[in-house]
A = this chain, B = another copy of it.
Amino acid sequence: MLIAEPLQTAIEELSKLPSIGKKTAQRLAIYILKSDSDAVEKLVTSLTELKSKIRFCDRCYNISTEEFCDICKSPKRDSSLICVVEEASDVIAIEKTHEYNGLYHVLGGVLSPLSGINPDSLKIRELIKRFEVEEINEVILALNPDTEGETTSLYLARLIKPLNMKVTRIARGLPIGGDLEFADEATIGRAVLGRISV
């Protein structure tokens, strides 16, 4: 046997994680092996508690430690705005900008018929239900600017507009610090189409 069995098992488990290949998994496993027991204990506990203590918010499906997440519970947030995102990590990304003060709704993915992800797999019905019980003025679609994100945005817009709700989409354009010369045609095209008066 080339590699001791507990090491082999750890390498296999680690390489199941996204963006971790066999070589990285081996390096991580050997690093963990050489770490002191305290550090390993802390890592293992944090992963166990991550799974056991975190649940999803009953209202917006953001990650939470209680029934409702901190954002939904906060009286300082503008509860007339809902920003629809794909994943909880997108909430973190938008929160980091400090530019948005409304609520969120985490879909849990995007429509992808080929992978078997249809509207029922996402929290779309739950979003529509929120319009009935909450006083929402505007729905901001903040899905990723790729094919599936765009398709899902279109689907949602068609679904929500008849409900007499304002639906907006976050802007596409040149990234800040980007260079016109090196941007792709699609991005420049969208930036031109989405021009605003100054």
Contacts and interface: CB of A to CB of B under 8 A. Distances in A.
Count the copies.
2
A48 interface: yes
Nearest to A20: B28
Given A2-B92, A19-B24, A10 B47 contact: yes
Interface in A1-60: 1-7, 9-10, 12-14, 16-20, 24, 26-33, 35, 37, 39-40, 42-44, 46-51, 53-54
Interface footprint category on A: 35 or more
Contacts of A7: 50, 54, 63
Contacts of A33: 50-51, 54, 63, 88
A30 B88 contact: yes
A2 B35 CA distance: 30
A32 to B, nearest CB: 6
Given A19-B27, A31-B18, A54-B33, A46 B6 contact: yes
Contacts of A65: 4-6
Nearest to A23: B89
Contact of A50 (B29, B87, B89): B29
29 contacts: A1-B70, A2-B96, A3-B92, A4-B54, A4-B64, A4-B65, A6-B46, A6-B49, A6-B50, A7-B54, A9-B46, A10-B46, A10-B50, A13-B43, A13-B46, A13-B47, A14-B46, A17-B28, A17-B31, A17-B32, A19-B27, A19-B28, A20-B28, A26-B92, A32-B51, A33-B50, A40-B50, A44-B44, A47-B47
